[in-house]
Amino acid sequence: MGIQQRSKMACGPNRARLLCMLALTFGFFVVEVVVSRITSSLSMLSDSFHMLSDVLALVVALVAVRFAERTHSTKKNTFGWIRAEVMGALVNAIFLTARAPTRAA
C-alpha cells in the first residue's frame, strides 16, 4: 500500500467527522443567535460568537484535510500536500492566540 492510498484512507473518516462537527456547531451558533435576540441576552450572544470562532477553526481544519487528500508526490513535492494538516493546525493556533487577549476582557 503506497503513501497516497494510506493518506486517502486516513483522511476519509476525519473529513466526515469534521463536516458533522461543523454542521452541529453552526447549528448551535444559529440557535444561540436567535435565542439571544429573542431574550435580549448579551451573554448568550457573546457565547454565540465564541461558537462562530469554533466554526471558523473547523473550516480551516476542513480545508487542510481537503488539501491533504489531494496528495500527489512529485520530485519537487515529495510529500504532496500531506503537511497541509500541520499548517492548518498552525493557523488555528495563531488564531486562538490572537483571540485570547480579547476574551479576557
Mean pLDDT: which of 30-34, 48-52, 67-71, 98-102 is highest?
30-34
Query: What's the predicted TM-score (pTM) here?
Result: 0.70
End-to-end CA separation in angstroms for the chain:
52
Q: How confident is residue 31, by pLDDT bands cut at 50, 70 and 90? A: very high
For residue 66, pLDDT over 60 is answered with yes
Report which residue type is found at 98. A
Q: Mean per-residue pLDDT for 66-91?
A: 75
DSSP 73: -
Measure the CA–CA gap between 28 and 48, rounded to whole angstroms: 8
**pLDDT given for residue 78 in this prediction:** 66
Computed over every residue of the chain, the mean pLDDT equals 79
53: nearest Cα among 102, 99, 5: 99
Contact 52, 29 (CB under 8 A): yes
Dihedral pair phi/psi, residue 4, rounded to 5°: -65, -40
To 10 degrees, what angle do helices 84-104 and 42-69 make? 170
Which pLDDT score, from 0 to 100, does residue 37 have?
94
pLDDT, residue 29, reads 95
